[in-house]
Structures are given as C-alpha cells and as structure tokens.
A and B are shown apart, each in its own frame.
Chain A
Amino acid sequence: MKIAVCVSNVPDTATKIKIAAGGKEIDKTGVTFIVNPYDEFAIEEAVKTKEKFGGETVVISVGDDPNKEIMRKALAMGIDSGVLLKTSETLDSNGVATLLAEEIKSGDYDIVFMGKQSVDFDSSTTGQLTAQKAGFNCVSVCVSLEFDGNNITAEREIEGGREVVKTTLPAVITAQKGLNEPRYPNLKGIMEAKRKPLAEKPLSAPAPLVEVVELSLPPAKAAGKILGSDASAVPELVRLLREEAKVI
C-alpha cells in the first residue's frame, strides 16, 4: 500500500494568543510550534498500516522550512520519507487541500491519513476538501479502522455514539483521539530520521476562496461573584441560577 500522512504545525496548545500588527494573523514571536495533536494519531495509523500490509509511507506538509521539524518527528515515529510542499504564503483550507490533492493524485497513493482538525484554525475541512479534490472517498473523525482488501470499515464519532461507515480505497481518513495510542519516537528512530529523505517542492499558492478580514481577541469575561467557601453558599448559588441567570 502507498500511504501518505499529512501533518500541520500549530502553536502549542498552551500558547496565549496575541494578534500581530496588521490585525489578520497571530503574533508568532516566542510561540512554540508542535505537531498538530490529532496528526499524531494519523502518523501512528500510517505506520501501523504499513506494519500490517507492507508498502511505503510518506509524510506530506504544506508550509515553509519550520514544518521540516515536525516532519522529522513523523520520520522518527517510523514514516519512510517526506515531501514538503513549500510556500511562504498563508493559505486557506481550500489552498492547502488543493496542493495536497495534486500531490496525492500524482503520487498514486492508496490511503491518506491526517488529523480530524488542526487546533489552530479549527475548520475540520481539509480532509474532506482534499478527498473530494483528489477523487478519493473519505471518512472523517475516525476512531476505528479495518481493511478487507480494498474495502474499509471505519467508525466515526458522532453525537452520542459512533457511526459505522463502509467505503473503499483510495480514501482519506481523518483521525480522532481514540483511533490508536501514538508511539514515542525512540533514539534509534530519531537518529534514523536525520538520514531519511525529505524532498522539497516549491509551489505557488492557489488564490484563497475565503479571505480573512480581521483577527481579534474575544471580549474578556469579567470575573463574577465568589459566593462563599463552603456548602453554606449553596442556597445562594441555586437562587442566583434561578432568579438572575434563569438557567434552571
């Protein structure tokens, strides 16, 4: 099987967001970038799928030089090689998906894994957009995956349960926490990752379909009332919930 995993680098989830001058992007000064947490499940599933069925695994990322660092992490976890689709421009989901779909089609992949959403822009759209543009089937928010030849039985998380989906290869699968338990790269993996091939393809950015007008911080919520420090505050809490907030 030819297996791709697409990864995105995102600000560490502990980052306090500040707006950059210009008002459309975040201020990246001092921000640590990490592998998008959901992409770790995608990397693990790609490695596991190769271990089970054989083949080749490739990590693909859209972005600039800093993305190489997170791609090396995927290589250290066991992915064979990498392709950086290189652009210094900020793309919308459609732009990212367009570049990924072109690479996936030309690379003759059978299956593509990625995280169910990146925790920066939170759109949860790139997987489905990429699948449609590449002419692949798609299962998003996947928590269980089984193959039988070309047939896929997957479970995706929905409100109050799981939906069992049947589809076929080629397919894009977007990973949700619970799909697997990502391995930690060991020292051997980290050493090997340095020697694994990581190609760069300079590309020009497709025109965006969604323009960012402005980025702002949400209005700060005023701290409320401390009603007490023990159970004696309970009647007052219940009264306020009923009479002031009117939520119960």
Chain B
Amino acid sequence: MAKMIVAVIEQRDGKIKKAGYEAASTAAALASKLGCPVAALIPASTVENPEKIANYGISDIKILNASAFANYSQSGYAGAIVDQVNAMGADVLVFANTAMGKDLAPFVAAKLNAGVVADATHIDDEGGKLTAIRPIFAGKALQKVVPTSEIKVFSLRPNVFPLVESSVAPAVTTIPIDSPDLSSAAVEIKKAGEKLDVAEADIVVSGGRGLKDAEQFRLIEELAAVLGGAVGASRAVVDAGWRPHSEQVGQTGKTVTPSLYIACGISGAIQHLAGMTSSKYIVAINKDKDAPIFSIADYGITGDVFEVLPPLIEELKKVVSH
C-alpha cells in the first residue's frame, strides 16, 4: 500500500530541527510497519551532522543542495522535492507542521495532485489504509481522515510524535540542484530576539488579564526564564496591546502542546482552552475558583497570582537547574 515513504527534514541555519527528527522517526516507523523503503530529503545549502537522521531509522539521507537553499524558498524547495519524489517513485511524504512545513507541504501536494493531511497528531495503517487524526476547531473536535489520492502528504504537529531511537547505518548523498526556481524566496530572517517561540517550547508560562497590566508580565517572564520555557498570553492581553500576537495561545493564536503549561490569571475562555488543552500537564493559578481553566488543570491554586507567583519563582529557583 505504500511504495516508498519520504520524510522531508527541516533545517534552519544548517541545523536540523527537532520536528525534523520527529518526521524522520515517524516515517521510519511507518515504513517498517508497511515493509517499504524510507528516505529523508533535506533541502539545504549546508547541514550539520545529517547522519544523525540514521539514529531514528532512516539510512537513505539525501541533501537537496543549492547555495540559494541557505534561506527557505517555497518554489525552490518544492521544485527540488517534487523532482526527487518523482525520481524515487515515493508515494507517502511526511513533513513537520512548522512555519516552513505548513507553507511547503500543501504547495508540494498540489504539484503532485496529492491529498494533504495537515497538522496530524496520529498516523497509522488501519485495514490497509493510511489513516490520520487531526484536531479541528482548535482542538474542540478530532477528525479521522484517509487520503484517497495515489500520493499522500502528511504534516505532523510538532512535539506530539515520539522520537524513537533505532540506529541504522547512514548513507548520506548530496544531490546538486541546478538553477532552482527562486520565484518566491526568503532573503532575510528578522529575529524577535533570542526568545523561545511559544509553539516550540516544552514549557509554557501564560498570563492573562489577572496580571492587571503589561508591566506585571515581568512575573510571567521571570517564571518562564527560571523554567527555561516560553511566554504565552491570552487573547485579552494581546488585544489590550500588553503582549505581541506571536505569543497568543488559543483559537486565533497558536495551538501548543508542551509538557507543562502554567496558566496565570487566565480564566480559560473556550477559545483559549482549545489552544492548550492537549498540553501534557496543566497548572492553573487564578483567584476565581469557578474559572473554567480549573476544569482542565491537573494542579490548581485558587489564589491571587501576585501572592502565589513570587514564592513559586523563588521555590523553583532552588530546585531547577538547566
């Protein structure tokens, strides 16, 4: 039912992203279950340690190489991937649903007349059909889908699929891509500081209106810093201009799946809950004991954030080292 599975691996600045290894590990597990070959494609100008992909079960590692690929190019990357997929006869493609993968996977799918299943949280073979589950309505419902096209494209929600170590011998080849199509290409990245993005963080500390004003968000920043996590925000405080939209968690912001989500002064509007319910552990600190956030929190403190956060920060400083 599958001829060959390909994982498309994302790198930024030559470094392979964790979500890229997740795509590799998931593709390898599927291939081993279906008994078909598997390969990894990395569009890049340079990649550090591409052989590490073999730790997750893929031996055949191909670098689609062009100097212009130092930056992301939707047209360039898509063209190189599609040519290689056609040359290899691959019929299942696995991407990571990162900013890059979200942009690239559907563009590649359209070129291959493939059905695309975006933001999957589960993929398996069910009765001979590759079946995926994807959250919709920001996680308020789960859709089980089957792509019916000959070629099938999946993109995986980051931080959900396990990294399974399964070492094979790496065989890295570099395929030069001559004159890539750069009709759409990134020329520069403007970093918003060295801050960890809320969608990529393993620990998220979010603040809401309970913080009273923008200045008090320093408590959230401090707690996030102690835990090595990222700062998140509710829609109310983003709309109030206290925090940038890039930190907004919820239905019109980002959907996050960290190991630990700490909601401070957030009541838990349905739109916010939708964006963070699938976090592994949820802590809520809110003085309103009837706040909806407590209905999904693993651990709750029904107290004032201004009283609870300073001792929590001090206590954590004593025990956390990173």
Contact = CB atoms under 8 A, between A and B. Distances in A.
Contacts of A38: 252
Interface SS of A by simple majority: mixed
Contacts of B300: 224-227
Contacts of A229: 289, 301-303
A94 interface: yes
Contacts of B299: 224-225, 227, 237, 240-241, 245
Given A138-B74, A227-B300, A229-B289, A158 B100 contact: yes
B84 interface: no
A247 B143 contact: no
A188 interface: no
Interface in B234-287: 245-246, 248, 251-252, 255, 259-260, 269-271, 277-278, 280-283
B191 interface: yes
Contacts of B187: 164-166
A206 to B, nearest CB: 11
Interface residues of B, number: 95
Interface in B302-321: 302-304, 307-308, 311-312, 315-316, 319-320
B183 A167 contact: yes
A163 B260 contact: no
Given A213-B144, A218-B142, A125 B116 contact: yes
B184 interface: yes
Interface stretch (B170-178, B197-205, B206-214): B197-205
Contacts of A121: 136, 143
A233 to B, nearest CB: 5
Contacts of B146: 210-211, 213
A37 B255 CA distance: 16
Given A163-B72, A163-B189, A221 B141 contact: no
A124 interface: yes
B110 A133 contact: yes
B106, B200, B297 pick with most chain A CB within 10 angstroms: B106
B281 A245 contact: yes
B316 A238 contact: yes
A50 interface: no
Contacts of B195: 160
B118 A125 contact: yes
Nearest to A10: B137
Interface string B105-129: 1110111011111110000000000
Nearest to B314: A234
Interface string A215-247: 111100101111111110111011011100101
B141 A226 contact: no
Given A120-B137, A226-B301, A231-B307, A13 B252 contact: yes
A131 B107 contact: yes
A168 B185 CA distance: 10
A178 interface: yes
A212 B319 contact: no
Given A212-B143, A221-B296, A223-B296, A128 B106 contact: yes
Nearest to A143: B245
Contact of A120 (B136, B142, B148, B304): B136
Given A93-B116, A128-B107, A132-B110, A11 B141 contact: no
Given A235-B315, A241-B281, A160 B302 contact: no
Contacts of A212: 143-145
Given A157-B99, A177-B245, A237-B312, A216 B192 contact: no
B277 A218 contact: yes
Contacts of A157: 99, 246
B41 interface: no
A223 B290 CA distance: 12
A165 B189 contact: no
Given A160-B196, A162-B189, A237-B299, 11 more contacts: A11-B137, A14-B271, A26-B137, A26-B141, A129-B116, A138-B184, A209-B115, A211-B148, A213-B146, A225-B300, A233-B301
7 contacts: A26-B137, A126-B106, A129-B109, A160-B197, A214-B144, A215-B142, A238-B315
Pick the 7 closest A-B CB pairs, nearest first: A209-B115, A132-B110, A125-B106, A224-B298, A158-B99, A167-B184, A128-B106
Interface of B: 71-72, 74-75, 78, 98-100, 102-103, 105-107, 109-111, 113-119, 131, 134-149, 183-192, 194-197, 199-200, 203, 227, 245-246, 248, 251-252, 255, 259-260, 269-271, 277-278, 280-283, 289, 294-304, 307-308, 311-312, 315-316, 319-320
Interface of A: 11, 13-17, 19, 26, 37-38, 92-94, 97, 119-126, 128-129, 131-133, 137-141, 155-168, 171, 176-178, 208-218, 221, 223-231, 233-235, 237-238, 240-242, 245, 247-248
